[in-house]
Amino acid sequence: MIIWAGRPEGHAKPEGNATDLRYLEYAVAALEPIMAICADAARSSSPKVRALARETLSVQTERFDAISALLRDWGRAERTSPPVAETLVGLDGEALDKLFVDRLAAHARASILSSRAELIAGASRSTRHLAEHAIHAGDRQLAALQGLLLVAASAGDLRK
């Protein structure tokens, strides 16, 4: 068990360990850029990309809020992050869609891996619950992306 120094009065003692804290802090940091990319992808010319971007942004926002609330309950300082470095501003058409698909797939895979590690080494029930939900969300995102890629591949074959 780690010592949580500087815990403000009125905050619950964390129920977890150092793995839980690392997982939560990593997740918050990883969610901010993907949320910005999803917000940008909501202006795609593809209805399927727009729908996936909006749905993903909603899921990621809920996850971000839940993680932030848990960190606050544990007395962790509110995260003040630098501006998000990567967005899809200035891109449109296939370039926007491709970068969105690439970034969302990479994020989903990384989220699944870190969530599995949390399930193995984490001690907090709350954090493990969030990790389980992240695995399911990541699997759904990868399945949706696979469907987008199959549609794009079929359309590309028709153009030949």
Per-residue pLDDT of the chain (160 residues; tens, 9 = 90+): 333 333 444 445 567 899 999 999 999 999 989 999 999 898 899 999 999 999 999 999 999 999 999 988 888 766 555 455 566 677 778 888 988 999 999 999 999 999 999 999 999 999 999 999 999 999 999 999 988 775 555 444 433 4
Evaluate whether residue 100 is within a structural domain: yes
Residue 13 lies in a domain: no
Q: Is there a domain that residue 49 lies in?
A: yes
Q: What is the CATH number of the domain that holds 124?
A: 1.20.1260.10
Give Cα 160 to chain centroid, integer Å: 36
In a domain, 137, yes or no: yes
Contact of 50 with 61, CB cutoff 8 Å? no
pLDDT given at position 2: 33
pLDDT value of residue 1: 31
Does 9 reside within a domain? no
Give the span between the Cα atoms of 133 and 82, in whole angstroms: 27
Number of structural domains the chain divides into: 1
The answer to the question of residue 83 being in a domain is no
Q: Which residue has the tokens 């606050």?
A: 72
Q: What value does the CA radius of gyration of the chain take, rounded to a whole number of Å?
A: 18
CA distance 97 to 99: 6
For 93: left if phi > 0, alpha if psi spans -120 to 50, otherwise beta; the answer is left
